[in-house]
Amino acid sequence: MKTLPPAKTPLAPTQNALLAALPVDDYHRLAPHLHCVPMPLGWALYEAGDRMGHAYFPTEGIVSLLSVMENGASAEIALTGNEGLVGISLFMGGDTAPSRAVVQSEGHAYRMRADYLRCEFERGGELQHLLLRYTQALITQIGQTAVCNRHHTLDQQLCRWLLLSLDRLPTNQLLMTQELIANMLGVRREGVTEAAQHLQQAGLIRYRRGRITVLDRPGLEACVCECYAAVRRETDRLFASHIVGRTPRA
């Protein structure tokens, strides 16, 4: 599979929206404990059941959270990018990963040791509030994904997945084979092929050799089910006074 070249210079920690929303004093206290790591395509940050030694704050790229069955089949339950973090179990009372976390679009993240994150969370204050709000937004995404997979067409599911991915990327292109999309959505590859053909025939996307280019985002939004808007609406509501409109510090 062809992949985009890795970023030459990692972005600053404040390109992660949670870290950017922290008060200055809180951010400077956390900054020495943030260490940049590359996130190559396909890298598993955690496998389900793994003991989690770090939390990850992406600054670019996308991480998919996958529920994996005993027979190896999997389906995406949520995804996260530079709006959040990977590893909410660390401050929600657990220390093992409930799902597989794998890099869907390569980039970078700043990781923090699990024990330090717990210590900071237990201090209370703005970091705790932000992490809890993000957790609620993630739960909303997980619940809406379950409803969407049960009640909406595969064309609509693909539109939702494309839009959620685009929200976390700087371009209108995704590098993703139909087989990988099928694994994310938990459906057969033939179904994804047919759904992608429908969107391409409508002039909404162009798909060539594992590269999806969105040609008409408004058209894609007109075709998607209400699940995409529900997730966006709840996220905007939760972070209206914390992240939306805030300019990241250098």
* Residue 10 DSSP one-character state: P
CATH number corresponding to 153-224:
1.10.10.10
- Nearest residue to 243 via CA among 144, 141, 143, 126: 126
pTM: 0.88
pLDDT score at 51: 94
Spatial CB neighbours of 239, under 8 Å, sequence gap ≥ 6: 17, 21, 133, 137
- Nearest residue to 212 via CA among 105, 58, 103, 67: 105
Which regions of the chain does DSSP assign to beta strands (E)? 35-39, 44-46, 54-68, 74-80, 100-113, 173-175, 205-208, 211-214
pLDDT score at 95: 86
Note the pLDDT tens digit of each residue in 34-87. 999 999 988 999 999 999 999 999 999 999 999 988 888 888 999 999 999 999
Tell the burial category of 68 from Cβ atoms under 10 Å away from its Cβ (0-12, 13-18, 19+). Answer: middle
pLDDT score at 10: 74
Architecture in CATH of 13-150: Sandwich (2.60)
pLDDT score at 9: 66
Say if residues 58 and 14 touch (Cβ distance below 8 Å): no
Q: Which two tokens stand for residue 23?
A: 């008060």
Sign, Cα dihedral of 222, 179, 65, 139: positive
- Would you list the domain boundaries of the chain? 13-150, 153-224
Using DSSP bridges, classify how beta strands 100-113 and 54-68 pair: parallel, antiparallel or unpaired: antiparallel
* Residue 66 DSSP one-character state: E
pLDDT score at 244: 40
Question: Which residues in the chain show pLDDT less than 50?
Answer: 1-7, 243-250
pLDDT score at 210: 81
pLDDT score at 245: 36
As a whole number of Å, the end-to-end CA separation of the chain is 35
